[in-house]
Amino acid sequence: MKEQLSALETEALEKIAQVEDTKALQEIRVAYLGKKGSLTAILRGMGKLSKEERPVVGEMANHVRESITAALDEKGEKLEWIALEKQLETEAIDVSLPGRPVKVGGPHLLTSIIEEIEDLFIGMGYEVREGPEVETDYFNFEALNLPKNHPARDMQDTFYITNELLMRTHTSPVQARTMRANDGSKPVKMICPGKVYRRDSDDATHSHQFTQIEGLYVDKNVRMSDLKGTLDAFAKKMFGKDREIRLRPSFFPFTEPSVEMDISCKVCQGKGCSVCKQTGWIEILGGGMVHPKVLSMAGYDPEVYTGFAFGMGPDRIAMLKYGVNDIRQFYTNDARFLKQYHQV
């Protein structure tokens, strides 16, 4: 019986050493250690042994069971490792593959220009304000010295929503709104960028919706020379030191006197070309001294306070600065156009 046991041990250990998958290993476990297994069968024969022999054979049988169990467990673990390694190998991620490029957006060209202009004026002590795009007739016209039926209303063809509500035709209503909110005694120094709307037929230089930046400075002793100095500083910073500005007399109902500002043409250096229509100058804004009536309607005493205001077109400025020849490019959002101006 001892020989039987040791032969069984050798045989089992050999089989375990050779086996290569967990299922076969499990079969070996059942074949030797299971209820109907070979070891169990041998042990059943123990009854026939003498009293002296029984404990010796019993101990040996235990030893054989332990050694087979240990070999089975060890092999089981080994096979699991091998299986895991195989899985890792087949499911491995190739980290050397180049990644897919992520498309990164950027600010719209007009947004960049507006922010650049905002920064310039913030540097000169201006606050940035906002106003509604759907505006009342009062703020868009009346508070700016344009009573109903005033012929100058025709200068700005208007989208009306009702008799009293309209899409603002300029950012100037924010002048009146800001002054009003300031109770007639505090100085005002603000710029206001925003969208404006006019009933124009769209073409290369007109868009029914475009942008403006309004500027307003009200205080005691604000003079025309302050306006000129401010605009000159702005133009030089925006377009370069070699640019010159020119103020021409003009008319706006809400400023008196009124001016329009031209900047010397960059393309021909003032000699005259198609961009500046052979004049050497390009108009970029309107402005003037705030009309006394506008001041008093907003609660400021025109005998004490004076101010200047201006309105410029960032579209125009962007077109000039970057050589864009069609204003509609800003509003049709063709990514091929826009991404040329993304600053990284």
Does 129 engage in binding with ligand PHE (CB under 6 A)?
no
Give the C-alpha separation, 133 to 192, whole Å: 12
Among 75, 129, 168, 170, binds ligand PHE (CB under 6 A): 170
- For ligand PHE, the nearest residue by Cβ is 311
Does 172 engage in binding with ligand PHE (CB under 6 A)?
yes
Give me the least distance between CB of 97 and ligand PHE, in Å please: 56
User: Is 96 strand, coil or helix?
Assistant: coil
Question: 331: which residues sit within 8 A by CB, 6+ positions away?
Answer: 207, 209
> Mask 281-320, x = binds ligand PHE (CB under 6 A)?
-----xxx--------------------xxx---------
Asked whether the beta carbons of 216 and 178 are under 8 A apart, the reply is yes
When the beta carbons of 210 and 239 are compared against ligand PHE, the nearer one is 210
Among 207, 211, 230, 255, binds ligand PHE (CB under 6 A): 255
Enter the tokens of residue 40. Answer: 């169990």
Among 126, 141, 252, 330, binds ligand PHE (CB under 6 A): 252
When the beta carbons of 32 and 310 are compared against ligand PHE, the nearer one is 310
When the beta carbons of 131 and 311 are compared against ligand PHE, the nearer one is 311
Could you give the angle at which helices 109-122 and 314-322 cross, rounded to 10 degrees? 110
Give me the least distance between CB of 190 and ligand PHE, in Å please: 12
User: Is 223 strand, coil or helix?
Assistant: coil
Give me the least distance between CB of 255 and ligand PHE, in Å please: 5
Enter the tokens of residue 286. Answer: 């309107």
* Number of chain residues interacting with ligand PHE (CB under 6 A): 10
User: Is 222 strand, coil or helix?
Assistant: coil
Give me the least distance between CB of 312 and ligand PHE, in Å please: 8
Cα-Cα-Cα-Cα dihedral sign, residues 228, 231, 234, 239: negative
Helices first, then strands: H and E counts in the chain: 12, 9
When the beta carbons of 298 and 309 are compared against ligand PHE, the nearer one is 309
When the beta carbons of 252 and 281 are compared against ligand PHE, the nearer one is 252
Does 280 engage in binding with ligand PHE (CB under 6 A)?
no
Does 173 engage in binding with ligand PHE (CB under 6 A)?
no
Does 198 engage in binding with ligand PHE (CB under 6 A)?
no
User: Is 89 strand, coil or helix?
Assistant: helix
When the beta carbons of 75 and 168 are compared against ligand PHE, the nearer one is 168
Taking CA 54 as the corner, what is the angle to CA 49 and CA 55, rounded to the nearest 5 degrees? 175
Query: 189: which DSSP letter?
Result: E
Enter the tokens of residue 203. Answer: 């073409």
When the beta carbons of 57 and 289 are compared against ligand PHE, the nearer one is 289
Does 253 engage in binding with ligand PHE (CB under 6 A)?
no
Enter the tokens of residue 207. Answer: 């868009």
Q: How far is CA 187 from CA 181, 279, 316, in A?
A: 11, 38, 30
User: Is 251 strand, coil or helix?
Assistant: strand
Contact positions vs ligand PHE (CB under 6 A): 170, 172, 252, 255, 286-288, 309-311
